[in-house]
């Protein structure tokens, strides 16, 4: 269905376009948030500029949607001239540029800017273009190169994992060729961060609304590194919390970039500071007691590299060809995340056609049987804290499960006891900013690899065996199980050297009482 962008009121059109373009990541930013991001990027650029100087600035939104960032830029530049209203037309027709892959969105942005500035929409035709900012040449689309500011909330689409968006092979290859962030972890928002850094002219600034994870997850390091090659992350990202606009449940942040003033890209790279993640509790303890507990725990070393891994079967775009609900010839049992409970591994509920030849255009990842059958402990991935069980009756498992191949010098049962303990759950919650999010919290290999693991924990082994037996009875295991879990927690507190007050604090915090 086409949308008539001249007739309907703007707000109605925005709603209709967003509903129709969900697959393009169309979730328009609330105007106050767009204004905040734009002020962060344009503020330092506009300081001390005359109206003439302001009119020479070029501001681009490469995923313009209905034009909310450009409207915010129009308002900001207009106010900065000191003569509000006088230069609005000139600002719109000289300073503002936008691109959207959705022609209806681009038309809407043109109309919104025209209404706000008094320009004719046709006068903005060249500047607000239809095109693919990631795959087309931005300069030829909007007739300008090198921007003083890039401001945007790009589409947040991930092309891997269980929520993966669809992407043809050709586009995947071309995106990987153009964006090094895409090779490591294919997402549109990672590629837009890299693009923004490339499009800035010396001294330019960018502000992007991005998932908070981009600031700290190891998977986004390639995107951060690509941006750092040209820019500094300055000022530090501003966390926005969860649900900061409709259609978005994960925590977001405004991420700022500043390109060095001289053409000193190498100097920028040398001076490039690490993208500052919003400080986990260790650097900014919510209380002195929390800081003291984390310091005590950090006296213990993490597991050696490779102890935890992520080899789970990734069905890619071929789940229907690979998975069955019933056993059969040539099929092997496969577990998924929900099979992993604390101290108890449920039986596989699905079966995998592990040696299926996939037709052209299909992809998946299935490793050799030894990586599955050799895992000694399984950890659930979609969870707000580690949940682990010994890998009894070994089978294949999907990528909703992480594998542990053991820690030298530590009994597997004791390790399961540590991983499921309230104290290690507390450590994870304090140190992983995303663990508290309501939507899809995930435990990652990097998180597990950074947990401090007490090696002298063999005293836990008999108690863990008892807990496993109680947990295997099903239900919630009754009073006996909860008493045994309480004893386990007390032993773990002692192992890490917590006193009674600290242990009480951890218990209260993890049960939501602190
Ligand atoms: C999250 S919306 C944001 C729109 C606007 N910047 C705002 O914040 O209100 C993302 C927009 O990017 C557009 N888009 C998606 N992929 C794109 C691409 N490769 N190039 C240009 N625009 C794209 C979508 O059509 C959508 O309008």
Look at residue 167 and tell me whether its pLDDT is greater than 90. Answer: no
> Could you tell me if residue 497 is left (phi over 0), alpha (psi between -120 and 50 degrees) or otherwise beta?
left
| Integer angstrom CA distances of residue 75 from 63, 151, 180 | 19, 14, 35
Residue 2's pLDDT band (boundaries 50, 70, 90)?
A: very low
For CA atoms 15, 17, 23, 26, give the dihedral sign. Answer: negative
pLDDT of residue 61: 98
- Domain segments of the chain as ranges: 10-271, 288-510
Collapsed DSSP state (helix, strand, coil) of residue 27: coil
pLDDT of residue 281: 32
> Could you tell me if residue 397 is left (phi over 0), alpha (psi between -120 and 50 degrees) or otherwise beta?
beta
Selected residue with higher pLDDT from 153 and 252: 153
On average, the pLDDT of the chain sits at 87
Compute, in angstroms, the gap from residue 70 CA to the centroid of ligand 1.
13
DSSP 125: T
pLDDT of residue 161: 63
Here the tokens at position 447 are: 């998180």
Look at residue 240 and tell me whether its pLDDT is greater than 80. Answer: yes
pLDDT digits (tens, 9 = 90+) for 9-51: 677 777 777 777 677 777 889 999 999 999 999 999 999 999 9
Identify any residues that bridge with 411 across adjacent strands, giving them in sequence order: none
Is the Cβ atom of 112 under 6 angstroms away from ligand 1?
no
Among 59, 113, 138, 154, say which to mutate for ligand 1: greatest number of ligand atoms within 8 Å of CB. Answer: 154
Q: What percent of the chain has pLDDT over 70?
A: 89
Cα separation, 269 vs 183, in Å, equals: 21
CA atoms within 13 A on the CB side of 461: 8
Peptide linkage before 235 cis (omega within 30 of 0): yes
Look at residue 358 and tell me whether its pLDDT is greater than 70. Answer: yes
Is the Cβ atom of 142 under 6 angstroms away from ligand 1?
no
Judge: domain 288-510, CATH 3.40.640.10. Answer: no
Q: What does the DSSP assignment read for 421-474?
A: SHHHHHHHHHH-GGGG-SS--B--HHHHHTSB--S--GGGHHHHHHHHHHHHT-
Look at residue 162 and tell me whether its pLDDT is greater than 70. Answer: no
Whether the Cβ atoms of residue 313 and residue 352 lie closer than 8 Å to each other: yes
Q: Which of 14, 19, 226 is nearest to 111 (CA)?
A: 14
Is the Cβ atom of 179 under 6 angstroms away from ligand 1?
no
Is the Cβ atom of 100 under 6 angstroms away from ligand 1?
yes
Q: Which of 118, 18, 22, 21 is nearest to 68 (CA)?
A: 18
Cα separation, 307 vs 299, in Å, equals: 19
Nearest CA to ligand 1 atom 18: 132
- The CATH number given to 10-271 is 3.40.50.150
Look at residue 336 and tell me whether its pLDDT is greater than 90. Answer: yes
CA–CA–CA angle 482, 483, 484 (5° rounding): 90
Is the Cβ atom of 14 under 6 angstroms away from ligand 1?
no
Look at residue 188 and tell me whether its pLDDT is greater than 80. Answer: yes
Identify any residues that bridge with 344 across adjacent strands, giving them in sequence order: 341
pLDDT of residue 164: 61
Identify any residues that bridge with 323 across adjacent strands, giving them in sequence order: 352
Pick from 269-278, 488-497, 503-512: least confident = 269-278
Cα separation, 103 vs 114, in Å, equals: 16
Nearest CA to ligand 1 atom 27: 65
Cα separation, 417 vs 421, in Å, equals: 6
φ, ψ at 379 (rounded to 5°): -125, 135
Cα separation, 65 vs 152, in Å, equals: 9
């Amino acid at each position: 269905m086409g949308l008539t962008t001249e007739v309907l009121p703007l707000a109605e059109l925005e709603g209709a376009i967003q509903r129709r373009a969900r697959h393009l990541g169309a979730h328009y930013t609330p105007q106050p948030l767009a204004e905040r991001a734009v002020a962060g990027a344009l503020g330092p650029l506009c300081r001390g500029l005359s109206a003439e100087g302001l009119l020479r600035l070029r501001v681009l939104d490469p995923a313009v949607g209905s034009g909310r960032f450009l409207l915010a830029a129009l308002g900001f530049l207009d106010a900065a001239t000191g003569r509000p209203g006088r230069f609005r037309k000139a600002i719109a027709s000289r300073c503002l540029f936008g691109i959207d892959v959705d022609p209806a969105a681009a038309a809407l942005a043109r109309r919104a800017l025209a209404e706000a500035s008094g320009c004719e929409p046709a006068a903005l035709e060249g500047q607000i273009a239809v095109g693919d900012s990631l795959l087309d040449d931005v300069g030829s689309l909007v007739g300008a190169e090198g921007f003083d500011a890039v401001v945007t909330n790009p589409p947040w689409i991930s092309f891997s994992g269980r929520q993966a968006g669809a992407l043809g092979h050709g586009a995947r290859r071309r995106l990987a060729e153009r964006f090094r962030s895409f090779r490591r972890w294919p997402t549109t928002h990672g590629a837009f961060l890299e693009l923004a850094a490339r499009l800035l002219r010396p001294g330019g600034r960018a502000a992007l609304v991005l998932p908070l994870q981009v600031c700290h997850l190891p998977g986004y390091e390639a995107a951060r590194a690509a941006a750092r090659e040209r820019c500094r992350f300055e000022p530090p990202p501003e966390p926005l919390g969860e649900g900061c606009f409709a259609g978005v449940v994960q925590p977001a942040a405004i991420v700022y970039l500043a390109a060095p003033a001289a053409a000193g890209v190498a100097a920028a790279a040398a001076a490039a500071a690490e993208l500052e993640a919003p400080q986990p509790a260790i650097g900014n303890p919510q209380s002195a007691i929390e800081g003291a507990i984390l310091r005590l725990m950090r006296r213990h070393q993490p597991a050696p590299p490779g102890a935890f891994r992520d080899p789970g079967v990734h069905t890619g775009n071929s789940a229907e060809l690979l998975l069955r609900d019933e056993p059969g010839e040539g099929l092997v049992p496969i577990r998924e995340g929900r099979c992993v409970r604390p101290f108890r591994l449920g039986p596989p509920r699905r079966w995998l056609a592990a040696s299926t030849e996939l037709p052209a255009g299909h992809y998946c990842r299935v490793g050799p049987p030894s990586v599955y059958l050799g895992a000694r402990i399984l950890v659930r991935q979609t969870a707000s804290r580690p949940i682990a069980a010994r890998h009894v009756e070994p089978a294949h498992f999907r990528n909703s499960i992480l594998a542990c191949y053991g820690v030298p010098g530590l009994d597997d049962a004791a390790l399961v006891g540590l991983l499921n303990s309230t104290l290690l759950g507390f450590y994870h919650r304090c140190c992983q900013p995303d663990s508290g999010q309501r939507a899809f919290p995930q435990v990652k290999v990097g998180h597990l690899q950074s947990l401090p693991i007490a090696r002298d924990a063999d005293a836990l082994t008999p108690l863990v065996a008892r807990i496993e037996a109680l947990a295997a009875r099903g239900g919630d295991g009754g009073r006996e199980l909860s008493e045994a879990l309480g004893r386990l927690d007390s032993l773990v507190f002692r192992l890490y050297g917590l006193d009674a007050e600290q242990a009480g604090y951890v218990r209260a915090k993890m049960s939501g009482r602190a």
